[in-house]
Amino acid sequence: MIGTVPPRTSARLALIALFAVIVAVAWVRHGPPECASPNAPGSFDGPEAWQSLVAFVGDGAPRDPGSIGHESAITRLREAAARRGVAFDSQRFMARGWKRTAVEMHNLFVVVPDARGSTDGPLVLLNAHYDGVPMGPGAGDNAVGVACALEILRALKAAPAACPVVVLLSDGEELGLLGAREFAKENPLWKRVVGVVNLDARGSDGPVHVFETGAHGSWHAAILAGSDISSRATSLASEAYQHMPNGTDFTVFRMAGAPGFNLAFIGSPHNYHTANDTVERVDPRTLAQMGTDALALVRALAAFAHDPQPSCADSAVWFDFYSIAIFWWPSWVSWTALSACVALLVTALVRLRAEGMATLGGTILVAWMSTTGLMASVIAGGLLTIAIRTAHPSHWPWPDGLWAGDLALVAVGFACVTMPVSWISRRRRHRRDELVVAWDDSLGAWGVAAAVTLVALAFAPGAVHPLLIPLGVASVSGAALAIARPSRASPSWVGLAGAGAFLLMWVPLEGSFVDAFGLSLGGFTAMRGALLALACRGVLR
């Protein structure tokens, strides 16, 4: 016998305590911050924007093009502009409305001068569509964006940006991004646009997300990291959105080559495109966060208006850390870091084998069982999703008991990996030293995690950071322990470090996943549980 594994109780208790703290912090930090009073003439005024929202929604009549509510909305917008000392120009065009008959639509826009009072030269475009659907008043989608744009217009007049800003309230977005297409195709101002900030929504509350950027990832990431914003921002969302069939006005502008940022909030998505999308259900904090951050990004883009070309690599990874700060790195760093992680894991395996504390065969066996469990989790999650949808068809994919369903899917994925690996490990402990089996478990699990990270990096490089950072923590701590103290090395505290890093990265994302997808992607939800099982293998075995 080489020895026994030191008691794991302390590591397990520490993991439970860490999990509780991370969940509590993520819960507190998930929502938008409290509204702050404007402290400068050019600041965003949340209460003023709220009054603009109430005035624009008016009696709550739907704003679908061709309706009476749509015409009234145009009148209210012109009145709002007049109160701010400007007048909207109108770009009229004909298109098919909701009843498939031709109706007249209107893009409303105004150019706000720069600090020199000039409207010439490069422009930054701030866009929010003002049309709605026939099913409801559209307070969240997209009256909030309109109210923010009106307030930003006022703020830019009080303290101009480094270049002129064209504020566009587009029409026909709900019918196929019609106003944005018309503006980019026919309006001569588009040729001068060097950056875009778009405001939209798919809900009534929750944090604002910077969920899409233009093509130049590193350039956008550097701007985000240097801006004082509190919105959630992650290249994972941008990566996912590129593979979804959804589109906003920003899709048109991005495809036309303009850099910029797409902002939206997605809390309470069951209100989206329904009669429940009312002012009463909108969170004033969400409105204030969207307007404050959109103004900051408009000013940031304006600062680069005369040199808009990216100066670094096109692809990058970026993410906010609990809305405190935004970190980023070029994608080549991810490849270098993953290579280093693999090298460290191999080093740890070689060193521990030399000490008789790990086996190659055992590590490969655990990796095989973990891979099988990971694939089974995706299948089981998909089947459980079908069962939940059959039992709760209403409000799908956000049914009653949404969080219970989400946690059940995570638990299923966790079990799909834990059960087979634990079974084979118990059998191996009859023939092998417990410490050897423990290290084989940990190295095999993290080897699979490295393989998953490689797949993510190859096919979705912007989504790699929630996997790469925990892998880095585990590989560095494992190799360091194996090299420095091989005779006393235990995977328990290495597992705690890796699992803690995994929870730190993934827990704040779970609320966004639930808001964005509900229970529709059961396989992906279960896979997150399976990855958690891999991360925790060194502690929970």
Distance CA 130, CA 138 (A): 9
Does residue 372 have a pLDDT over 90? yes
User: Mean per-residue pLDDT for 392-398?
Assistant: 86
Could you tell me the residue ranges of all domains in the chain?
9-29+332-535, 58-305
Residue 10's pLDDT is: 81
Model pTM score: 0.92
Cα–Cα distance for residue pair 215/314, rounded to 1 Å: 7
Mean pLDDT is lowest, of 35-49, 266-280, 299-313, 441-455, for: 299-313
Instruction: Name the least confident of 6-10, 80-84, 226-230, 387-391.
Output: 6-10
Instruction: Kindly report, residue by residue over 266-278, the tens digit of the pLDDT.
Output: 999 999 999 999 9
Class of domain 58-305: alpha beta
Judged against a pLDDT cut of 80, whether residue 314 lies above it is answered with no
**Tokens at 516, concatenated:** 């964005």
* Burial (CB count <10 Å: 0-12, 13-18, 19+), residue 273: middle
Q: Is the peptide bond before 262 cis (omega within 30 degrees of 0)?
A: no
Q: Is residue 325 packed enough to be buried (19+ CB in 10 Å), middle (13-18) or exposed (0-12)?
A: exposed
Q: How much is the mean pLDDT over the chain?
A: 92
Cα–Cα dist 146/286, whole Å: 14
Q: How confident is the model at residue 342 (pLDDT cuts 50, 70, 90)?
A: very high
**141-149: average pLDDT:** 98
Angle at 149 (CA atoms; ends 508, 271), nearest 5 degrees: 50
Give the count of alpha carbons within 13 A of 228, CB side only: 3
Tokens of 495: 């597992």
